[in-house]
């Protein structure tokens, strides 16, 4: 079996950017290629996901390699366009290239290749979990290209520690009144202002990173002389660990309810997207990834573990299955100006390193 070329796969996938749960062409391309390689392939997993399985002769662990597939939506010159601005085409390309090298080399255990949909909407991983793909998985390995600000080109980081994140909607209901008689109303804009101020006074342990800030506010109608009885707000909340997140959310909700009550307004708190768990990476597995990186690119190109304030739904896997050992490494490809920028570009010559680490790690466990 000849190995597939990661750059060629990348070029093919880059031409067909599709949004989360709409990765029809992308998933068909990947599933067809896996099937051609001889993997046992299941399509339409969690809507558009693809799983390829290869079993070894001997007993051993079930190891999952995961890449995401979705692109991001932009409006450019008034037109809606999808762009692979987070490099998920590169991730799928690296995983498919690795799968082509690994075919026929699995001696023990089971290799599961997962092409996951809808990472950007943070919904894809949950669909994969609901489909039962993680039930028997012992080890899970994910990867992401890194921007030039994180690590230099040609280097790799053995761990990317994403944060826990959530967005919270706060709806305030008060009482409308003529603005000349404000004492008869309950002004939700004033209550919202007090809530924002009070939330800003919440303090968590400064040794860990966390943040909690309003990002959207809508209140009042169109009349300037009516006391507004409805205001809604969005807060973006993040923290480095799951423990800090639960404490922060507890305090946040207490502040919102207490301040609203002081204004005689009613507060409703909604979590439209749930709470994305922070990375819980297995130390031992991460150390093995570091070994792999050294073997592939040399010790001088091994970077430290990266803390990241972004979210990543891969971490639902270890969150829902506490016995699962997870690792997640970063591939230095000098992505500029940054991820999620419509002009994001990077040096594709760095992708082979990601392929080689995936292969090296898998053979360590299943070879
Ligand atoms: Zn992204
Ligand atoms: Zn991404």
Residue 192's pLDDT band, with cuts at 50, 70 and 90, is very high
Kindly report whether the peptide bond that precedes residue 88 is cis, defined as omega within 30 degrees of 0: no
CA–centroid distance, residue 119 to ligand 1 (Å) = 7
Counting ligands in written order, which one lies closest to the CA of residue 92? 2
CA distance 322 to 12: 37
- Domains of the chain, each with CATH number or no CATH: 6-161+279-366 (3.40.630.10), 164-270 (3.30.70.360)
Tell me if residue 61 falls in helix, strand or coil: strand
CA distance 309 to 211: 9
Please check the confidence at residue 150 and state whether its pLDDT lies above 90.
yes
Q: Please provide the DSSP assignment of 193-218 as one string.
A: HHHHHHHTT----TTS-EEEEEEEEE
pLDDT, residue 134, reads 98
Contacts of residue 260, Cβ cutoff 8 Å, sequence gap at least 6? 172, 191, 195, 266, 267
pLDDT, residue 115, reads 98
**Average pLDDT, rounded, for the chain:** 97
**Structure-token pair, residue 39:** 């993997």
CA–centroid distance, residue 85 to ligand 1 (Å) = 7
CA–centroid distance, residue 310 to ligand 2 (Å) = 9
Please check the confidence at residue 357 and state whether its pLDDT lies above 70.
yes
CA–centroid distance, residue 310 to ligand 1 (Å) = 9
CA–centroid distance, residue 339 to ligand 1 (Å) = 7
> Nearest to residue 115, comparing CAs of 34, 192, 176?
34
Please check the confidence at residue 356 and state whether its pLDDT lies above 90.
yes
> Nearest to residue 349, comparing CAs of 7, 1, 4, 60?
7
Quick: pLDDT tens for 158-167: 999 999 999 9
Inter-residue contact 48 to 69 (CB < 8 Å): yes
DSSP H or E stretch at residue 344:
none
pLDDT, residue 122, reads 87
Quick: pLDDT tens for 278-327: 999 999 999 999 999 999 999 999 999 999 999 999 999 999 999 999 99
Please check the confidence at residue 200 and state whether its pLDDT lies above 90.
yes
> Nearest to residue 99, comparing CAs of 1, 205, 228?
1
CA–centroid distance, residue 340 to ligand 1 (Å) = 6
CA–centroid distance, residue 202 to ligand 1 (Å) = 29
CA–centroid distance, residue 68 to ligand 1 (Å) = 10
CA–centroid distance, residue 120 to ligand 2 (Å) = 7
Inter-residue contact 355 to 98 (CB < 8 Å): yes
CA–centroid distance, residue 70 to ligand 2 (Å) = 9
Please check the confidence at residue 1 and state whether its pLDDT lies above 70.
no
Contacts of residue 276, Cβ cutoff 8 Å, sequence gap at least 6? 122, 164, 165, 166, 311, 312, 313, 315, 316
CA–centroid distance, residue 88 to ligand 1 (Å) = 8
């Amino acid at each position: 079996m000849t190995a597939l070329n990661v750059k060629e796969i990348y070029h093919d996938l880059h031409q067909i950017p599709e949004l989360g749960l709409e990765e029809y062409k992308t998933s068909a391309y990947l599933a067809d290629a896996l099937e051609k390689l001889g993997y046992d392939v299941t399509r339409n997993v969690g809507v558009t996901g693809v799983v390829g399985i290869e079993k070894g002769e001997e007993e051993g662990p079930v190891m999952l390699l995961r890449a995401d597939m979705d692109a991001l939506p932009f409006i450019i010159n008034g037109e809606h366009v999808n762009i692979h601005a987070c490099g998920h085409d590169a991730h799928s390309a690296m995983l498919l290239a690795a799968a082509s090298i690994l075919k026929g080399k699995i001696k023990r255990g089971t290799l599961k290749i997962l092409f996951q949909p809808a990472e950007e909407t943070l919904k894809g991983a949950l669909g994969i979990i609901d489909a039962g793909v993680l039930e028997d998985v012992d080890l899970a390995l994910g990867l992401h290209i890194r921007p030039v600000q994180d690590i230099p080109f040609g280097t790799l980081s053995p761990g990317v520690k994403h944060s826990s994140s959530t967005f919270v909607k706060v709806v305030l209901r008060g009482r409308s009144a003529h603005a000349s008689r404000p004492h008869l109303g309950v002004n939700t804009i004033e209550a919202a202002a007090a809530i924002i101020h009070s939330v800003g006074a919440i303090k968590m342990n400064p040794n860990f990173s966390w943040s909690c800030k309003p990002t959207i506010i809508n209140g009042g109608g169109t009349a300037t002389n009516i006391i507004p009885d409805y205001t809604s707000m969005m807060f973006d909340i993040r923290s480095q660990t799951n423990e800090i997140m639960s404490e922060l959310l507890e305090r946040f909700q207490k502040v919102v309810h207490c301040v609203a009550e002081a204004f005689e307004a009613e507060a409703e708190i909604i979590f439209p997207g749930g709470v994305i768990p922070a990375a819980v990476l297995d130390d031992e597995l991460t150390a093995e990834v570091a070994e792999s990186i050294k073997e592939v690119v040399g010790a001088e190109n091994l970077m430290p573990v990266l803390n990241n304030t972004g979210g990543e739904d891969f971490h639902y896997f270890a969150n829902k299955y506490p016995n699962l050992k997870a690792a997640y490494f970063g591939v230095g490809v000098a992505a500029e100006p940054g991820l999620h920028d419509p002009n994001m570009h990077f040096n594709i010559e760095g992708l082979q390193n990601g392929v080689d680490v995936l292969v090296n790690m898998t053979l360590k466990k299943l070879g």
